[in-house]
Structure 1
Amino acid sequence: MLRSGVLKKVFFSALALTGLLLLYIYFFVHPAYRKLLIHHTEDEAVRYVSFLVHAYHLDKQPIRIGHLSPGVIRDIGVFEDDKRLIKLRIFDETGRIVFSTVPKEIGQLNEHPYFHQQVASGQVYSKTVTKDNFTAEMEMVKTDLIETYVPIMGNGSFRGAVETYYDVTASRKAIGGLALQSLVSLGAVSVALLVLLYFALNQADRAIMARDKAEGELRQANEKLEARVAERAGELLRVNRKLSDEIAERTEAQMSLSEALTEMQRAKEKIDGILSSVTDGLLVLDDRQQVMMMNHTAESICGICLADVSGQALQLLDLPPALKEALGKVFEDPEQEKVDFELPRSSGQSRTLQARTSVLRDQDGKGLGTVVLMHDVTTEREVERMKSDFLAMAAHELSTPLTAIMGYSELLASENANQMTDDQKKSFVSFIYDKAESLSCIVDDLLDLSRIESGQEISIAKIDFDLCTNIRRLIDAHRKNYVSHRFELEVECSSCRLFADPIRIEQVVENLLSNATKYSPEGGEVRVICRGDDEYCRFSVCDQGVGMSPDQQSRIFEKFYRGNSSNTSQQGVGLGMSIARHIVESHAGHIEVTSELGKGTCITVALPKSEAKVDSKREGIDDSEEEQAPV
């Protein structure tokens, strides 16, 4: 028996190849011989039919019962002498048998699909039938045979077919015997080669074993030598082993620590990413109110760095006084979850923030610390303030004319009214009308604002008119109402005709003139300049009033904003400029403000002249605010 693993693999590989070769001959070569027998039988049948067709011109005459020529019958008789031929039949194009070596079959009809689909299309049909199985026409046979149908074609059409039954029992047995002889011969040769290979491998195995034995003896001698050396160096080895164990333990501990640090770093980076994405200030304290973590926003609000204060008590930190006071209120009163506080900005203004706290708990619900969230509520508080200011201004602006209207109406309705002159009554009625008109303007502004806020368009009725004529009429009216101011009109264009809503444009001019007179000193000059070109009409309203700071200029078009709200003598609810800009932009125009504090303000409006320009500009405003009329 072979003891070398390599030699065993070589022997068994040769054995496996021998078996595969025998299987290949049995499963592939032997069936190939059988297929060759079938092809040979088909070719013989085709050659015989071709002989009959060309010899007796079967492709040019009808094939019918009783119409076959004697020569065909004679040659078929010669063909019947072949002992392998079991049966021969001739069919017409309908599948009816017109001749058969078994006369009783003449006149029968072949209705099988293979005949009418394959043979009738000009293809040879063959079927191998083994003993005790059925032919294509369901006839049981007692021998192995090949059933072949050969079509007779004439002028490209099917004329009939010839069927032959060939006995291939002897041929199949011969092929089987040949295959068996091949297998036996090859098997014998393979066994002989395997035996020779085994003996050769056995000799090689013995040589290998002898070499291994020699190597073993040499190894034993070497081991004895090493044992003597090991005995003398035993103590050194024990010390070295102990040191190695300690190094291994330390290495394992360092690896575990490194993995833990890596995992902690990943968790820290994930938490830092979450904290940095939060726009609000986030401060986390432990149960002793010591700083655990905070994001960049919280560092900016508190004015400290997490790296400098981590682990320190909140009470010891140098926080802004307002923030420290707000946090103190929250911690002293647990029910007070939200506290507002203000912090100064670098610009000198202040911003309002809201501090909220929540308890940080573990999975068991035990308190681990506190989370402080600082949210910037400056905008919300500004909106609330503007709402309050608007309500106060609206109440004042509405109550003042109403009080005057009620007072003068009461005088006109009193018993002393009969003692008044007609001029006095007319003056009272005119005053009441002016105040009512003032109320109407305020209500109209509120209605326009309501439409704008709800997304509705304010009503625009466009006609063709001269802008300078309307401005001149409004200036004349203001000269009568504001006799303490000087009004100047400069016209720098030959034609300022517009296709626009004159009422809405006058509303804009009226608002600009009213603001100019409100914020100008007594005797101040209000200058109106009209100019234009081929596409635009422009007018500017300039005053010598108090002017505006850059911050006021940036907010002049905000709703409810008043340039100097501390001056309550100036009437208005802060809607005029917002509505004016909406009207100008509804006409595809543009409004621009230039002002210098203490020197005055100049507001310029540019409006397109033609209707087409208005429509195209309006579409541009709806789609994008990138294209604006130049000023």
Structure 2
Amino acid sequence: MPEETKEKNTIAELQAKLRELEVQIAELQAERRRLQQQIAEMRAMEEVMPPTSQTELQQTLRRMFARFARFLQAQRCMLMLHDPVNDKLVIQEPLVGFSDDEKEELKKLEEIDGEFNSVFKERRMLILNSLVGCDSPDMHLLQRIGVKSVLAVPMVWERRDEDQQVIERRTIGVLAFFDKRGNGSFVDEDKRIVEVLARQAAAVIAGAQLIIQVIERKQELERAFQSMLAGVIIVNMKGRIQLINQVALNAFCDGETDGVGKNYDEVVKHDAVRELIGKAIEELSELTAEIELEKPEERIFRAQTAVVKDEAGNPTGIIAVFTDITEIRRLEQMKTHFVAAVSHELRTPLTSIKGFIATLLDDTEGYFDHKTRYEFYQIIDQECDRLRRLIDDLLNLSRIERGLALQPNWQVVDVVSVIKRVLTAQQAYTDKHELKMDIPEELPPIVADEDKLDEILTNLVNNAIKYSPDGGEVVVRVVREDNTLLFSVKDQGIGIPKEKLSMIFERFSRIDTRETRAAGGTGLGLYLVKHLVEAHDGVIWAESEGIGKGSTFFFRLPIFPNRAREEGYIFTEVEKYLH
């Protein structure tokens, strides 16, 4: 072959190789541009503000994993996060490329100790371009839903110091991709990319979880702070409010909706509170005071201040806590009245007993005839009964205050005979009142404590007499309603203000009017009656149209209380009356 021909062939070969190299260079440049675009997108995702809620995290992960799948040309993507409480991997949304039925099937992976658990525990990558012949149960499950290949990587979160040295490393889950598009295989380049993606996803998830935990904890503390029964105001050393809750705003700030960032002088309208806060800041001392409010209603607060300090012990402000003690003061006042009333109630029968006994003892010459002496003895007997009832009330109060139940002595009780006995006994104390009963003929017996039922009715009838100073009718009615008896005691007395009806069964409670003060009493009767009724599984309430219009007290008792049944009592003579 001539030299010229050889040279031409060589040039042609070189030109062909050059064209081949040009194609390869173009392909490499295209791949370089693709990788640069991927790097730019990943960096852009890193610069996105971290999610601050579970919803935002889900949205961020959905966008991120869709890009991840596109980078790797994978058809599906799955996230499993470690649950430290149950020490297992848990499937998490988003699951890219799976149907709802397939997602339900994937949930079963949580209970399988297979390859994904090994990836997590051993921090190793898993790459399987064919699942045929795999013995692992989790791979069998993936095959059932049509998965052909797997690339899984542990998600390792790292925390670094200022010198970028790793000071904490924690595996938080597993990121898995399935089925390369075009029936392709996962290759080494995919492994390098997926390692970067997993680190990025771990950083986003761990950072978001930390932020979400902090936000949720802050919101939880804020809810607790705002739901406190006490008012709280925290101010810094310059007098600016750092925190204030709704109780304090409502009580001391006259309609202000938010005082944070403002000076307490501008927000707090109550003079005594302003003075207390100002003094606490000036003196940096713990102070206590009682704050009384007159509007919109009378209330009393116990105020306490304390100094707020930083970690170094330097004062940064003060905290003032306002506890509503209105009810405590009311109870203290009621107790004071109660002690005075009990002293009076004890002294009155004792004075009568002492007087009549002294009179009888002085009658050495038999001046009083038998009839007169008998009347004296009757009065002494009645006053002794009055003392006994008062002492019984005090003993019952003591039991209730100690948390001890009033235990009924269950027996079959003839309601009619108890009512007749109570009315007869109470009629002896008054000639201004007419005591009546309105009871149907067919009234079943009930299971109850006869003495306690007697005490309930005696208290209510006695109250009806006591608070009807001008006399009138007192009517006791009983009607059957299903398997209960409804009792009522109605009088024509001084009545009860409607706004006080809910208070009259409280301990030491008495309606404070001229008429009630004249009637006397300890304020214990209705409180004890309520507990006696409730000991029978019953309920009690009162009705009145107001002052001067009389009152009606109702209480309902079951014919056979569940409490008696639970204690094992059987009364066949009562059972037959139940519907």
Question: Partner of 2:269 in structure 1?
Answer: 319
Q: Would the alpha carbon gap of residues 374 and 439 (structure 1) be closer, same or farther in structure 2, given more than 3 Å must change?
A: same
Q: Deviations over 1:185-237 (max 9, x none)?
A: xxxxxxxxxxxxxxx9xx9799669989xx9xxxxxxxxxxxxxxxxxxxxxx
Q: Counterpart in 1 of 2:527?
A: 578
Is residue 2:496 matched to residue 1:541? no
Aligned equivalents of 1:497, 1:209: Cα separation in 2: 114
Question: 277, 280, 287: which is aligned to 2:224?
Answer: 277
CA distance in 2, matches of 1:296, 1:534: 48
1:482 and 2:430 equivalent? yes
Alignment match of 1:461 (pick from 405, 409, 429): 409
The structure-2 alpha-carbon separation of the partners of 1:356 and 1:498, relative to structure 1 and needing over 3 Å to count, comes to same
Higher Rg of the two aligned structures: 1
Please report how far the alpha carbon of residue 511 of structure 1 lies from its aligned counterpart in structure 2 after TM superposition: 0.8
In structure 2, what is the Cα distance between the partners aligned to 1:386 and 1:334? 37
The residue type equivalent to 1:287 in the other structure is M
Query: What is the count of residue pairs matched by the alignment?
Result: 373
Q: 1:397 to 1:265 in 2, by over 3 A?
A: same
- Which residue identity does 1:467 align to in structure 2? V
In structure 2, how many angstroms separate the alpha carbons of the residues matched to 1:536 and 1:584?
13
- Worse-superposed segment, 598-607 or 415-424: 415-424
Native 8 Å contact 2:286 2:307 kept in 1 = no
Deviation at 1:588, TM superposition (A): 3.5
Superposition TM-score, scaled by structure 2 size:
0.55
CA contact (8 A) 1:411 1:417 kept: no
Alpha-carbon contact 2:280-2:286 (below 8 Å) kept: yes
Q: Which moved more, 1:280-289 or 1:405-414?
A: 405-414
Q: State the secondary structure of the residue aligned to 1:379.
A: helix
Distance 1:552 1:350, change over 3 A: same
**Aligned ranges for residues 1-400 of structure 1 at < 5 Å?**
273-278=220-225, 279=228, 280-303=230-253, 309-317=259-267, 319-321=269-271, 323-324=273-274, 327=277, 337-344=287-294, 349-400=297-348
CA distance in 2, matches of 1:388, 1:292: 41
Q: Which of 351, 368, 371 is equivalent to 1:403?
A: 351
Q: Equivalents in 1 of 2:253, 2:231: separation in Å? A: 12
Query: Contact between 2:240 and 2:261, CA under 8 Å: does it hold in 1?
Result: yes
- The answer as to whether partners of 2:536 and 2:563 remain within 8 angstroms in 1 is no
2: distance between equivalents of 1:556 and 1:580? Answer: 11
Deviation per CA, 1:420-470, whole angstroms, max 9, x where unpaired?
Answer: 444444443333322221111011112223333434443533444432233
Do the aligned partners of residues 465 and 563 (structure 1) sit closer, same or farther apart at CA in structure 2, a change above 3 Å counting? same
Report the Cα offset of residue 572 of structure 1.
2.4
Counterpart of 1:428 (choices 370, 376, 396) is 376
1:554 paired to 2:479: no
Pair 359,487 (structure 1): closer, same or farther in 2 beyond 3 Å: same
Q: Residue deviations 1:91-118, cap 9 Å, x none?
A: xxxxxxxxxxxxxxxxxxxxxxxxxxxx
Q: Which amino acid aligns with 2:536?
A: H
Contact 1:537-1:607 at 8 Å conserved across structures? yes
Give me the whole-angstrom Cα distance separating, in 1, the residues matched to 2:232 and 2:412: 61
Among 512, 517, 523, which residue is 1:568 paired with? 517
Per-residue Cα deviation, 1:479-507 (whole angstroms, up to 9, x for no partner): 33210112232233333433433222111
> Does the Cα contact within 8 Å between 2:474 and 2:491 map onto a contact in 1?
yes
- Taking a change above 3 Å as real, the CA distance of residues 323 and 467 of structure 1, as seen in their structure-2 partners, is same
Q: Secondary structure at the match of 2:408?
A: coil
Checking the alignment, whether the CA contact within 8 Å between 1:586 and 1:618 is kept in structure 2 is: no
Give the one of 523, 547, 554 matched to 1:604. Answer: 554
Shift in alpha-carbon separation, 1:414–1:329, aligned structure 2, 3 A: farther
Report the counterpart of residue 520 of structure 1 in structure 2.
Answer: 468
2:561 to 599, 611, 614: 614
Task: Give the distance between the partners of 1:311 and 1:354, measured in 2 at CA.
Answer: 25
Match of 2:394 among 446, 449, 465: 446
Partner Cα distance (1:574, 1:431) in 2: 24
Q: Secondary structure at the match of 1:386?
A: helix
Structure 2: distance between partners of 1:508 and 1:289: 59
Q: Structure 1 regions of 5+ residues with no counterpart?
A: 1-199, 216-253, 621-629
Alignment partner, residue 45 of structure 1: none
Q: 1:352 to 1:534 in 2, by over 3 A?
A: closer
Task: Report the Cα distance in structure 2 between the residues aligned to 1:503 and 1:580, rounded to whole angstroms.
Answer: 12
CA distance in 1, matches of 2:285, 2:243: 24
How far did 1:323 drift? Answer: 3.5
SS at match of 1:607: strand
**Structure 2 portions without partners, runs of 5+:** 1-9, 26-46, 53-207, 568-577
| Larger CA deviation: 327-336 vs 517-526 | 327-336
Residue 616 of structure 1: how far off its partner (Å):
6.3
> What is the deviation of 1:285?
1.6
Larger % of helix: which?
1
SS of residue paired to 1:569: helix
SS of equivalent residue, structure 2 residue 517:
coil
Letter in 2 for 1:434: Q
Match of 2:110 in 1: none
